[in-house]
């Protein structure tokens, strides 16, 4: 690490990242000029429906894109002042598991079935600090498991993954991910495979772990409830592109892209009665068959048949509100659109889409 | 038992004229159409070299509910609590260990496979995963026609016309009957699954996690479709889901399951406003709210521990190993599912009444 580091510099900055894959229709871009930043201590959520490129973005940052098949074809990824795309495989491996760590969706398959939980945590610790003795690493593993709320950690540390439930395995993975006090935690759908009461436990553990490690977090999820609860800022992806970025508060109260609004009006609510849902018509685009112009135009309610949406691809551009960006030619009309839609959904939904 | 109606749109079937020249006899809205009583489904646990039966897994252990015509009953609970097993037993796709299933006066639990076939026309099922519930080698038109052929409904021209009408009804292009499942997206295939279930003109649909595999924008399309179909056709739904938000939006009544039993059941509004069972309370509080200002994380009841195995459930109240209100009595005495004074909600908790805030 360079000795003098600018404290204002983001932990992670991704600029115009392009990932290319080969498909039966030819070359395609599951990630197409994606840009976002994660500041120190901040939690940034990437949201979007399946196939929109969330996981590919995360894998590109981690240097773990599936090989062969997928490759970075453009852009820059800077992590605490270093250009990740210029690093060797060995250097990347050193960063992963220490300065940058990850938690995946399927906790059970992310663990190695032939080693005990304790051995796997010890390995992560010893890889980072070769001077650590085995007994010391095991003691530290027990501490970490206790920190993430594994009851009876000192006896359970010697068990194998198949003796643990999904929620317990996810705790073990969180323990491993924070073991070396990372600067950035990347969590891809960390609770999607879990039941809701177990999800509540794991989110609490994740929050506590973030706090102790002081880690910035890139959280990937399709669950807007999890976003609202965990994220400071949100990046909305559609068809491989970023269509909107804003604070979590703004995404829910004053979306400035029609797709973001469509996600919110599609969402049944546990906390209020809605008169009806307003689904987005049609289907998300398939890789290699992204519509021309604005990729959202075949499904867009705001388009109102205007040719510009088909002719011209809207760039992700800053809008008046500070720090916000959206990729829509007609984002100026979004304020009215939000008001109209909220009225149609029923009075209660103003708690969700408050207008403005 | 409450037999109130919940203002469901008219049960009229007009506008969906059956080309089969036969209008199924329709129950009056609100009339109990499906009744399940003390349903038990125990799976044998085998072990040892000889795979001898050494115990029983009580997947469903005394479940009772009624479903009035034209209404939606939500069956909610976490993974493994017995929702799908209940559905399969009601469909007689597996044989219940004990209990009664009555459909419009017929006791299905005693019927032979042959007798079942005729009655079952009235109850159809939609599954979670549209990819695996449709045969990849059969066109979607033929898949939709299959139940019509099984029940001998119409000649080939009538069947073709009915398939086209069903495709229209679920919002698909009627010219796509000759396409194969791989040519459709997940959301479209779920529409095919619904069309197939609707084919023999049933009065009850059992929907097992019908939107759980779908993205949120597609999920909203299918929920809206199901609501439309219900008001047009007067269908009753048994709607199985682990998603408490979806259930709030679509159901009239809700039954919450835990480890093979219903722990609380009642009117949707009562359950969501003032659940009395500690498990329902914790389940509702666990759902993250899509509202950053009021996330609910601070008032959340986070349960300790995992769900016990249904092969070895706790004595007394099955929730007691995770319940913050548990007392000695909970280990000794199984709480009955009883109505609370002044409500139509039934709760299986010794201390339910005192839990209302
Ligand atoms: N054929 C079977 N043989 C043995 N056990 C079974 C069988 N089918 C289900 N079970 C067990 O019965 C219990 C209830 O299962 P069921 O599939 O009904 O749960 P569910 O509520 O539908 O869960 P999910 O939300 O995961 O779909 C579980 O413990 C399950 O493992
Ligand atoms: N190894 C691969 N080769 C080619 N295409 C892939 C590969 N992995 C994923 N894709 C495609 O890339 C797109 C984005 O995928 P992904 O990032 O996994 O989406 P998600 O947002 O659901 O995480 C999808 O269309 C997916 O089918
Ligand atoms: S650019 Fe046009 S099609 Fe795209 S989101 Fe804006 S209004 Fe809709
Ligand atoms: S009966 Fe006892 S253990 Fe069961 S829910 Fe009520 S208080 Fe909790
Ligand atoms: Mg993914
Ligand atoms: Mg199931």
B19 Cβ contact partners less than 8 Å away, ≥ 6 residues apart: B154, B158, B161, B162, B165
Q: What is the mean pLDDT of residues A205-220?
A: 89
Identify the pLDDT of residue B237.
98
Measured between CB atoms, does B112 come within 8 Å of chain A? no
Chain A nearest-CA residue for B223 = A277
Instruction: Read off the CATH number of the domain in which A202 is found.
Output: 3.40.50.300
Alpha carbon of B302: minimum distance to chain A alpha carbons (Å): 6
Cα of B188 to nearest chain A Cα, Å: 9
Instruction: Count the neighbouring beta carbons within 10 Å of the beta carbon of residue B241.
Output: 23
What pLDDT is attached to residue B47? Answer: 81
Question: Ligand 1: distance of its center to the CA of A159 in Å?
Answer: 25
Cα A161 → chain centroid: 25
State the residue for tokens 């010697």.
Answer: A158
Tell me the C-alpha distance between B271 and A291, whole Å: 44
| Chain A residue with Cα closest to B281 | A197
Select the residue from B79, B210, B215, B268 to test the A interface by mutation, using most A Cβ atoms within 10 A. Answer: B215
- What DSSP character marks residue A285? P
Under an 8 A CB cutoff, do A271 and B296 touch? Answer: yes
User: Does residue B44 carry a pLDDT above 60?
Assistant: yes
What's the pLDDT at A7? 63
Residues A198 and A280 in one domain: no
Does residue B60 have a pLDDT over 70? yes
Cβ atoms A216, A39 nearer than 8 A: yes
Banded pLDDT at B46 (limits 50, 70, 90): confident
Whether B2 has a pLDDT exceeding 80, the answer reads no
Neighbours of B121 (CB within 10 A): 19
Note the pLDDT tens digit of each residue in B140-193: 999 999 999 988 888 999 999 999 999 999 999 999 999 999 999 899 999 999
DSSP state of B73: E
pLDDT band at A107 (very low <50, low <70, confident <90, very high): confident
B357, containing H or E segment: none
Protein residues within 5 Å, CB atom, of ion ligand 6: B 84
pLDDT at B24: 56
Composition of chain B by helix, strand, coil, percent to 5: 35, 20, 45
pLDDT band at A272 (very low <50, low <70, confident <90, very high): confident
Inspect the interface and report whether the beta carbons of A268 and B250 lie closer than 8 Å: yes
Q: Does B75 touch chain A (CB under 8 A)?
A: no
How much is the CA Rg of chain B, to the nearest whole Å?
A: 21
β-bridge partners, A72:
A19
To the nearest whole Å, the CA of B150 is away from the closest chain A CA by 33
Which residues of B are less than 8 Å from A274 in CB distance? 249
Q: Tell which atom from ligand 4 comes closest to the C-alpha of B318.
A: 4
Exposed / middle / buried, residue B347 (Cβ in 10 Å: 0-12, 13-18, 19+): buried
* Number of domains comprising chain A: 2
User: Which atom, in ligand 3's list, is nearest to the CA of A259?
Assistant: 5
B291 to chain A, closest Cα gap in Å: 6
- For residue B10, is pLDDT > 50? no
Is the pLDDT at B211 greater than 60, yes or no? yes
> Quick check: A187 and A106 in contact, CB under 8 A?
no
* Phi and psi, residue A247, nearest 5°: -65, 160
Q: How far is the CA of A69 from the centre of ligand 5 (A)?
A: 17
Mean pLDDT of chain B: 88
Could you count the other beta carbons within 10 Å of the beta carbon of residue B186?
16
Residues A17 and A166 in one domain: yes
Query: Does ligand 3 have an atom closer than 6 angstroms to the CB of A329?
Result: yes
Tell me which chain A residues have a C-beta less than 8 angstroms from the C-beta of B293: 249
Query: Taking CB atoms and an 8 Å limit, are B248 and A269 in contact across chains?
Result: yes
Helix intervals (H) in A148-292: 153-156, 166-178, 196-213, 224-230, 248-253, 258-265
Chain A positions touching B185 (Cβ under 8 A) are: 283
* Interface membership of B155 toward A (CB under 8 Å): no
Nearest Cα of chain B lies from the Cα of A133 at a distance, in angstroms, of 32
Last residue within a domain, chosen from A231, A264, A281: A231
Atom of ligand 1 nearest to the CA of B128: 27
Whether residues A285 and A213 share a domain: the answer is: no
**For range B308-332, the mean pLDDT:** 94
Q: Which residues contact A224 (CB under 8 A, 6 or more apart)?
A: A47, A252, A263, A264, A267, B216, B290
| Residue-range definition of the domain harbouring residue A202 | 12-231
Which range has highest mean pLDDT (A116-125, B24-33, B41-50)?
A: A116-125
| Per-residue pLDDT at A112 | 94
- Would you say the C-alpha torsion B78, A174, A38, A229 has a positive or negative sign? positive
Tell me: do A94 and A168 sit in the same domain.
Answer: yes
Is the pLDDT at B205 greater than 80, yes or no? Answer: yes
Pull the structure tokens for residue A345.
Answer: 């959904």
Which pLDDT belongs to residue B353? 66
Most confident stretch, A139-148, A274-283, A287-296, B257-266: B257-266
Owner of token pair 């009850």? B204
Q: Do A219 and A325 reside in the same domain of the chain?
A: no
Helices A134-147 + A196-213 axis angle, to 10: 120
Chain A residue at shortest CA distance from B273 = A271
Q: Which residues of B touch A271 (CB under 8 A)?
A: 289, 291, 294, 296
Beta-ladder partners of B60: B41
pLDDT tens, residue by residue, A282-314? 999 988 889 999 999 999 999 999 999 999 999
Residue A163 lies in a domain: yes
User: CB neighbours of B222 closer than 8 A, spacing ≥ 6?
Assistant: B187, B190, B191, B194, B210, B211, B214
Q: Give A284's contacts in chain B (Cβ within 8 Å).
A: 215, 217
Write down the pLDDT at residue B11: 33
pLDDT at position A351, please? 53
Kindly tell me if the per-residue pLDDT of A222 is higher than 50: yes
Closest ligand 3 atom to residue A329 Cα is 1
- Distance (Å) from CA B289 to ligand 5 centroid: 22
The CA B75 to ligand 6 mean position distance, Å, reads: 11
Sign of CA dihedral B254, B258, B260, B261: negative
DSSP three-state, residue B191: helix
Which of these three, A171, A200, A231, is where a domain ends? A231
User: Which atom of ligand 1 approaches the CA of B84 most closely?
Assistant: 22
The yes-or-no verdict on residue A101 having pLDDT over 50 is yes
- Indicate whether A153 and A62 sit together in one domain: yes
In a domain? residue A324: yes
The reply to whether A244 falls in a domain is no
Q: How far is B308 from chain A (nearest CA, A)?
A: 11
- With both helix axes pointing from N to C terminus, report the angle between B216-233 and A258-265 in degrees, rounded to the nearest 10: 50
User: What pLDDT, in 10s, does the model give residues B278-289?
Assistant: 999 999 999 999
Residue range A330-347: mean pLDDT, rounded? 88
Q: Which tokens is A261 given?
A: 């609004």
Burial of B37 (0-12, 13-18, 19+ CB in 10 A): middle
* DSSP one-letter code for A353: S
pLDDT in tens, A17-72: 999 998 887 899 999 999 999 999 999 999 999 999 999 999 999 999 998 889 99
Token pair of B336 as six digits: 């009955």
ipTM exceeding cut-off 0.95 for this assembly: no
Report if residue A238 sits inside a domain. Answer: no
* A231, A263, A296 - which closes a domain: A231
CA A161 to each of CA A35, A105, A123, B73: distance values in angstroms, whole numbers, following the listed order: 37, 15, 15, 38
Pair A264, A205 in one domain: no
Residue A14 and residue A30: Cα distance in Å, rounded? 15
- What is the rounded average pLDDT of the residues A161-168? 90
Residue of B nearest to A49 (CA): B215
Across the interface, whether the CB atoms of B220 and A283 are under 8 A apart is answered no
Looking at the domain assignment, is residue A249 inside a domain?
no
On whether any CB of chain A is under 8 Å from the CB of B281, the answer is no
Percent above pLDDT 90 for chain A? 70
User: Would you state the pLDDT for residue A342?
Assistant: 85
pLDDT surpassing 90 at residue B40: yes
Which chain A residue is nearest to residue B304, measuring alpha carbons?
A201
Beta bridge mates, A236: A47, A244
Residue A97 lies in a domain: yes
Structure confidence at residue B252 (pLDDT): 97
What is the whole-number distance in angstroms between the Cα of residue A237 and the centre of ligand 3?
Answer: 14
Mean pLDDT over all residues of chain A? 91
Q: Which of A264, A268, A341 to mutate to probe the B interface, most B CBs <10 Å?
A: A268
d(CA A53, CA A44): 16
What percent of chain A has pLDDT above 70?
A: 95
- B318 within ligand 4 shell (Cβ under 6 A): no
What is the CB < 6 Å shell around ligand 2?
Answer: A 21, 30, 48, 50-56, 66, 69-70, 287
pLDDT at B20 over 90: no
* DSSP one-letter code for B253: E
A351 is a domain residue = no
pLDDT score recorded for residue A21: 95
Nearest ligand, measured from the Cα of B41: 1
Q: Is residue A242 part of a domain?
A: no
Q: Whose CA is nearest to atom 3 of ligand 4?
A: B320
pLDDT in tens, B114-138: 888 888 899 999 998 888 889 999 9
Which of B321, B330, B347, B353 has most ligand 4 atoms within 8 Å of its beta carbon, as the pocket-test mutant?
A: B330
Question: Which residue of chain A comes nearest to B297, CA vs CA?
Answer: A229
Are residues A220 and A102 located together in one domain of the fold?
Answer: yes
Q: Which two tokens stand for residue B291?
A: 């509202």
Select the residue of A225, A276, A279 nearest B217 (Cβ to Cβ): A279
Q: In angstroms, rounded to a whole number, what is the distance separating the alpha carbons of residues B86 and B58? A: 11
Q: Look at residues A112, A229, A199, A155 and name the one whose alpha carbon lies nearest to residue B306.
A: A199
Please give the pLDDT value at position B302: 85
Q: How many CB atoms lie within 10 A of CB B208?
A: 22
Task: Tell me: do A134 and A278 sit in the same domain.
Answer: no
pLDDT of B242: 94
Backbone angles phi, psi at B207, to 5 degrees: -110, 110
Query: How far is the C-alpha of A184 from the C-alpha of B200, rounded, in Å?
Result: 56
Of B237, B172, B240, B235, whose CA–CA distance to B211 is shortest?
Answer: B240
Helix, strand, or coil (residue A66)? coil
Same domain? For A265 and A223 the reply is no
Q: Quick check: CB of B325 below 6 Å from ligand 4?
A: yes
Residues A212 and A260 grouped into a single domain: no
Q: What is the pLDDT of residue A1?
A: 45
Q: Do both A19 and A153 map to the same domain?
A: yes
């Amino acid at each position: 690490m360079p000795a003098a580091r600018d404290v204002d510099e983001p932990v992670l900055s991704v600029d115009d990242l392009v990932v290319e894959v080969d498909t039966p229709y030819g070359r395609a871009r599951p990630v197409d000029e994606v840009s976002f930043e994660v500041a120190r201590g901040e939690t940034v959520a990437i949201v979007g429906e399946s196939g929109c490129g969330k996981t590919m973005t995360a894998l590109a940052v981690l240097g773990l894109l599936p090989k062969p098949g997928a490759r970075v074809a453009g852009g820059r990824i800077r992590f605490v002042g270093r250009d990740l795309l210029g690093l060797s495989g060995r250097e990347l491996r050193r960063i992963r598991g220490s300065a940058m760590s990850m938690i995946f969706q399927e906790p059970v398959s992310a663990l190695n079935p032939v080693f005990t939980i304790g051995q796997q945590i010890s390995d992560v610790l010893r890889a980072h600090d070769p001077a650590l003795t085995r007994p010391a690493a095991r003691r530290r593993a027990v501490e970490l498991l206790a920190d993430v709320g594994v009851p009876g950690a000192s006896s359970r540390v010697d068990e194998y993954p198949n003796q643990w439930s999904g929620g317990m395995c996810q705790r073990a993975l969180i323990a491993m991910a924070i073991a070396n006090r990372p600067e950035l935690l990347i969590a891809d759908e960390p609770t999607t495979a879990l039941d809701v009461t177990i999800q509540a436990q794991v989110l609490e553990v994740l929050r506590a772990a973030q706090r102790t490690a002081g880690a910035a977090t890139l959280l990937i999820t399709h669950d807007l409830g999890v976003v609202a609860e965990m994220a400071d800022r949100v990046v909305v992806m559609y068809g491989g592109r970023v269509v909107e970025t804003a604070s979590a508060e703004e995404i829910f109260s004053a979306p400035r892209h029609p797709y973001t609004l469509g996600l919110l009006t599609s969402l049944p609510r546990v906390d209020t009665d809605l008169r009806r849902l307003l689904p987005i018509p049609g289907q998300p685009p398939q890789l290699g068959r992204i519509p021309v112009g604005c990729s959202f135009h075949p499904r867009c309610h705001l388009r109102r048949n205007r040719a510009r949406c088909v002719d011209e691809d809207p760039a992700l551009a800053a809008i008046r509100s500070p720090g916000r960006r959206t990729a829509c030619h007609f984002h100026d009309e979004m304020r009215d659109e939000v008001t109209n839609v909220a009225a149609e959904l029923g009075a209660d939904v103003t708690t969700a889409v408050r207008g403005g | 038992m409450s037999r109130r109606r919940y203002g469901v749109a008219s049960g009229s079937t007009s506008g969906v004229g059956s080309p089969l020249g036969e209008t199924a006899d329709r129950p009056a809205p609100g009339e109990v159409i499906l009744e399940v009583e003390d349903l038990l489904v125990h799976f044998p646990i085998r072990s040892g070299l000889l795979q001898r039966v050494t115990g029983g897994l009580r997947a469903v252990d005394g479940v009772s509910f009624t479903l009035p015509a034209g209404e939606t009953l939500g069956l909610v609970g976490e993974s493994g609590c017995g929702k799908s097993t209940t559905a399969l037993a009601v469909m007689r796709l597996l044989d219940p260990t004990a209990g009664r299933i009555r459909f419009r006066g017929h006791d299905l639990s005693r019927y032979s496979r042959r007798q079942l076939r005729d009655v079952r026309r009235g109850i159809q099922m939609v599954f979670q995963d549209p990819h695996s519930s449709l045969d990849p080698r059969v066109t979607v038109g033929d898949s939709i026609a299959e139940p019509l052929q099984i029940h001998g409904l119409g000649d080939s021209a009538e069947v073709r016309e009915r398939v086209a009408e069903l495709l229209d009804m679920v919002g698909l292009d009627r010219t796509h009957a000759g396409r194969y499942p791989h040519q459709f997206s997940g959301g479209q295939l779920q529409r095919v699954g619904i069309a197939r279930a609707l084919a023999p003109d049933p009065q009850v649909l059992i929907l097992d996690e019908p939107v759980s595999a779908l993205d949120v924008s597609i999920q909203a399309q299918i929920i809206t479709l199901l609501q439309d179909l219900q008001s047009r056709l007067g269908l009753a739904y048994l709607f199985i889901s682990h998603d408490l938000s979806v259930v709030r939006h679509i159901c009239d009544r809700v039954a919450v399951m835990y480890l093979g039993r219903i722990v609380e059941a009642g009117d949707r509004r009562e359950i969501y406003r003032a659940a009395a069972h500690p498990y329902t309370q914790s389940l509702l509080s666990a759902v993250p709210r899509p509202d950053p200002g009021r996330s609910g994380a601070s008032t959340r009841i986070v349960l300790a521990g995992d769900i016990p195995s249904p092969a070895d459930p706790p004595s007394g109240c099955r929730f007691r190993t995770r319940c913050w209100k548990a007392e000695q009595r909970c280990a000794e005495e199984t709480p009955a599912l009883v109505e609370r004074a002044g409500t139509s909600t039934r709760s299986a908790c010794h201390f339910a009444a005192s839990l209302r805030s």
